[in-house]
A and B are shown apart, each in its own frame.
Chain A
Amino acid sequence: MFGHKHFLGLENFPREDIQKIIDTAFEFKDVLNRPIKKVPSLQGVTIVNLFFENSTRTRISFELAQKRLSADTVNFSASTSSLKKGESFKDTAQNIEAMKIDAVVMRHPAPGSSKHLTEFIDAKVVNAGDGTHEHPTQAILDMMSIQEKFGKIKDLNIAIIGDINHSRVARSNIYGLISMGANVTVCGPANLIPENISNLGVKVNYNIDEVIEWADAVNILRIQRERMGIGLVPSNREYRRLFGVTSERINRRKKELVIMHPGPINRGVEIDSQVADSDQAIILDQVLNGVASRMSILYLLLGHKEESTNEG
C-alpha cells in the first residue's frame, strides 16, 4: 500500500515507502531497457509540468517518465516575475486545475511552494524542487543509483559536497539517506553549511581529503556561479583547491570511490573532467535512473483509485 496523496519531500517520509519507490523504479528500469519502452499504466491520466524555473533536465526526465507511462502531459513554463506583478500563485494554480488535470509536477523557486499548491488545488502534487527546500525525486534517483551500485544503502558512508545551505538536493538526500540507515557527512565551505545542520543527523567535515578517504560514495553538488563574488566563495580556483574532487585526490585513495553529481557539472571547479568521465562516476546512470524513479513515483501516486490517504 502506498498511502501518499502527494510527493512533496523526504523529511519524515517512511523508510519502507522510500524502499517501495526504489524497488518499483528498478522494475521500470527493466521496462526502459526493452525494445519498446512504453507501458500503458497511466493511460488517460493528465499531468501538468508546471515549471517556474528553468530546468531542462528535470523537466525532460519527468516528461519522458510520463510518456513512458502513457500519461498525457502538458508543459507550462512561467517566470516568477509575472507572478510578482499580476496573477497570484493561487490564481495560476486554480486556473490550471480548472482544466481538469490529475496531477501537477512543480518546480518553483520558493521553499514550501509545493506544500502551498496542495492547499489551493485537489490534484496530486509532485515536488520537482521547491527553492532551497527539497528535491525529493532527485534524492530517490540518487539512492536508487547507490543501491544499484552497492546492493544496499544501509551503513554506507555517503558524503555530500558543496553548497549545503542553498541546496534542495542536499536536504532531500540527507532526509532520505539518514532514513535508509546510511552515514552522511556534509563537506563544503563553512559559510555555505548551516551551523545547525547536525540536527538532521549528519556530520560536518570541512576537510575534503578526510571526507574522500572516509566515503564509499560522494554526491558532488554544483557550485552555483551566483555564489561567487559576493563574498561567499572567493574564486573558482580557491574552491577547487579546497573542495574540488580532483583526480589527484581520487588517485590518492586506494579503494574505488563512487562519484555522483546531479548535474549540470562545472568541470574544473567542483569536479575534474577526468573524475567525471572515469569508470567510478555513475553520473550518466543517475540520468536513466531519474526517469525510472519518476515513473515509479508517478505510478505509485496515480496508478490506483484514490481513497482516504495521508498527505506527504
Chain B
Amino acid sequence: MNKNKKILTSSDISRKIVRIGHEIVENYSDISKIVFLGIHNRGVPIAQRLKKFIKDLTDIDVPMGSLDITFHRDDFRERLTMPEIKGTDISFNLDEKIVVLVDDVLFSGRTVRAALDEINSFGRPSIIALAVLIDRGHRELPIRADFVGKNIPTNDGEHVAVKLKESDTDEGVFLIFGDG
C-alpha cells in the first residue's frame, strides 16, 4: 500500500511561483533578454504561470518556448517503452538571451543535462538559469538550480509527484512512498 502525503497545496504552489518570479526579476537587470523554456511535461505550465506573473508585474511579455528532451536522453538503452514525443517549440533566436529553464522537480539532474544539450542545438544564450518548483536532492550530475520553490529532502523509496490543474485533475505536490 502506498501512502501519499500532500506537501504543498494549490495556493502553496502559487506562492512559490510568485516568489520565484520576484527572484528572477530581481536577479536580472535586463528583463527584456529573458526567455522561458519549459521542459515537457509539467515544466511547461509552470513556465506559463511565471510568464503571466511577470507580465502582470512588469508589463513585459517574456517569450516562451517548450523543450522536449526525448532525443537527448541517456537512458534509451535501458528503457523498454518509447516515450511520447511532444516536440520542442522554440520560435525565437536564443543567441545572447538569458534562458530560464523551467521544470517541476529537480532530481538526478539528467533531464536538465539533456535539456542543456537540446538548447545547444538552437544557439548560444549568454546565460542559462534553472528554475524548479521542487528540489528533492539525490543529484547524479554537478547541476544546481538557481531558483527553487521548495527543497524536499527525500529518502530511498520516496518520490515526489507534482500535479497541476493544466494537466491533472487535482493540484498539489505529493510525497509518495513505495514504488508508486
Residue on A nearest B93 in the bound complex, by CB: A35
Contact of B120 among A30, A31, A36, A307 (CB under 8 A): A36
| Distance from A62 Cβ to chain B, minimum over Cβ atoms (Å) | 18
Assess the A307–B121 pair: CB atoms within 8 A.
Answer: no
- Which residues on the B side are within 8 Å of A304 (C-beta)? 76, 79-82
Assess the B85–A39 pair: CB atoms within 8 A.
Answer: no
Determine whether B14 belongs to the interface, using a CB cutoff of 8 Å to chain A: no
Determine whether B180 belongs to the interface, using a CB cutoff of 8 Å to chain A: no
Q: A-side binding surface: helix, strand, loop or mixed?
A: loop
Cα separation A31 to B121 with both chains bound (whole Å): 8
Interface residues of B in 72-102 (CB under 8 A from A): 72-74, 76-82, 85, 87-88
Assess the B87–A30 pair: CB atoms within 8 A.
Answer: yes
| Distance from A44 Cβ to chain B, minimum over Cβ atoms (Å) | 8
Determine whether A300 belongs to the interface, using a CB cutoff of 8 Å to chain B: yes
- Which residues on the A side are within 8 Å of B77 (C-beta)? 44, 305
Determine whether B166 belongs to the interface, using a CB cutoff of 8 Å to chain A: no
Determine whether A303 belongs to the interface, using a CB cutoff of 8 Å to chain B: yes
Determine whether A115 belongs to the interface, using a CB cutoff of 8 Å to chain B: no
Interface residues of A in 247-288 (CB under 8 A from B): none
Determine whether A1 belongs to the interface, using a CB cutoff of 8 Å to chain B: yes
Interface residues of A in 30-63 (CB under 8 A from B): 30-31, 34-42, 44
Assess the B72–A39 pair: CB atoms within 8 A.
Answer: yes
Residue on B nearest A41 in the bound complex, by CB: B71
Cα separation A40 to B118 with both chains bound (whole Å): 10
Determine whether A91 belongs to the interface, using a CB cutoff of 8 Å to chain B: no
| Distance from A298 Cβ to chain B, minimum over Cβ atoms (Å) | 12
Cα separation A38 to B120 with both chains bound (whole Å): 10
Cα separation A23 to B84 with both chains bound (whole Å): 11
| Distance from B52 Cβ to chain A, minimum over Cβ atoms (Å) | 26
A39 with B82, Cβ < 8 A, contacts A303-B76, A305-B77 known: no
**Residues of chain B at the chain A interface (Cβ within 8 Å):** 68, 70-74, 76-82, 85, 87-88, 117-118, 120-123
- The list of the 4 closest CB pairs from A to B, nearest first, reads A39-B71, A36-B121, A41-B71, A34-B121
